[in-house]
Structure 1
């Protein structure tokens, strides 16, 4: 059996007051209870904690060493008690979330459903807008947190971000496409393919990065702001698409099958994550949301 918190408290009181009598008076217990607790503690630790002097008790070398640990233990206990007490008395609070159109359905929805189950009393409001405007609202304190692409933050000095998931690009193809039978697909194999581009705000910078890795300028058939439109166009044979694997689904709205394949080469990746303001006190509701989001992912700070 290890030592108890009560023994630690008694030890600290005796060490600070230099007397069992004074410690007993301070703790409002009997001197014998203090004496027995100190003896038991010394036996558990296997060292002598006090030397008797003319004016009372003085901590030994081992006593001084243990004193540092004892105070740290009691401090942690006090912090835990305070935190739990504050949590129990705090009002549920509110949470203002920002989200981009792409992350609304593919990242936020799952996090939000788990958050509402864990914290049903917190009132949540969400606003969907482009990344630049969400950053503006975060810096101004009008949003608590945003779920968005964090690969290319504009205000990285004012904002803290945490990556939740990294999604590589994959090639979307209609059933029966010639590339479906390739053992390995290279970027050069896409040179003559008509590309369908997802042109939503948070993907524009990513699309430029993607286009830059092609040996020659790719043939662009369509640009659209709708992921569902990309699915339908690919499934109908209007072209192929390179998109983050996170948004891949094997069927279009019309029920047509869409194939997905890896492409060899140095393709960029898209980082989806959480963003909040640097240097600000993080409210309890925001801390709770971050904890729920982090629980399902392995976060990386930036």
Structure 2
């Protein structure tokens, strides 16, 4: 089994097409196919179903893919670590974050890091917390900023708390406030909500809170990511429960009655690999940003870094 064979295998698995994979890898398609067949001989199993141009992974291929991705990613990490030995003025960091965090505090954090290390390339991948944990475990990310997860069942991953943020109800500024003062969760009964897609952390939190009060929430529309939900609320389709960090000045912000709703944001990373200097620099920059008062945290958001460092 050769490194290049694993790279070709991963490319075919991701593109589901031998010709497209060959173009991505900048190799002739017959050469790529020959290397895939050699890999199949080495592992003793067929890795792809090839039926009339429809390429799908076999069970053996599904088993090999996450292992191949880890090997490829860790090899890339090793190359980067060696290249960065001479100075910290260059490098590359692959950072994952949830859509709500990309809309909230993360841009300010990354802007501060970019000013300090302009030569380090930042690659941002936006997805849900569970998907980000999988990518981090497989080596596709160096760091991930995720929500409310202590990473159960994966000994390769570690995380530390960054901050706790309050969840609030938003409505258009042009509309009357949903209630006077703070809102009990029960006041969401019969109020149309703009709801996130399934698998979204905020959807699960909101639905579970409503069920805890004995009712099912009413959806005006569902299925959106953070940017879409904000625009739909602005258009007057309904209320939404969002982190206080994304509210800004466009919306009317209503807090929940104590104890309210909140969530913990955490920084996750691989514990079983030596991080390149650029990755360590970003990790330290994020912690420093929250620990030394640089961050202008909105009301209801509290740093957890100073107390734990």
| TM range, smaller chain | 0.5 to 0.7
Equivalent residue for 1:89?
86
Whether the 8 Å CA contact 2:191–2:218 is kept in 1: the answer is yes
Superposition map of 1:53-64 within 5 A = none
Q: What TM-score, normalized to structure 2?
A: 0.58
State the partner residue of 1:162.
Answer: 160
Structure 1 pair 128–292 and aligned structure 2 pair: CA distance change class (3 A):
same
Give the unaligned 5+ runs of structure 1: 1-86, 252-257
Aligned partner of 1:219 in structure 2 is 218
Aligned residue for 2:233, secondary structure, equals helix
Mapped to 2, the partners of 1:156 and 1:102 lie a distance apart of 24
Distance in 2 between residues matched to 1:273 and 1:130, nearest whole Å: 13
Q: Which has the larger radius of gyration?
A: 1
> For residues 205 and 216 of structure 1, what CA distance do their matches in structure 2 show?
14
Task: State how 1:1-302 maps to structure 2 within 5 Å.
Answer: 89-90=86-87, 92-151=90-149, 153=151, 155=153, 157-174=155-172, 175-177=174-176, 179-180=178-179, 182-199=180-197, 201-251=200-250, 258-298=251-291, 299=305
Q: Please report how far the alpha carbon of residue 191 of structure 1 lies from its aligned counterpart in structure 2 after TM superposition.
A: 1.9
Tell me how far apart the structure 2 counterparts of residues 231 and 88 of structure 1 sit (CA, whole Å): 44
Structure 1 stretches of 4+ with a deviation exceeding 4 A read: none
Per-residue deviation, 1:202: 4.1
Name the CA distance, whole Å, in 2 between partners of 1:212 and 1:265: 18
Deviation for aligned residue 1:265: 4.4
What is the DSSP-based 3-state SS (H/G/I as helix, E as strand, rest coil) of the residue aligned with 2:104? helix
User: 2: CA distance between counterparts of 1:187 and 1:99?
Assistant: 28
Q: Which residue of 2 aligns with 1:48?
A: none
2:297 corresponds to which residue?
none
8 Å Cα contact 1:169-1:269 kept in structure 2: yes
Give 1:135 deviation, angstroms: 1.6
How many residues align? The count is 208
Question: 1: CA distance between counterparts of 2:214 and 2:200?
Answer: 25
Cα displacement (A) at 1:88: 8.4
RMSD: 2.8
Listed as ranges, the gaps of 5+ residues in structure 2 are: 1-83, 292-304
Once residues 236 and 103 of structure 2 are traced to their aligned partners in structure 1, the CA distance between those partners, rounded to angstroms, is 25
Could you state the TM-score of these two structures normalised by the residue count of structure 1?
A: 0.59
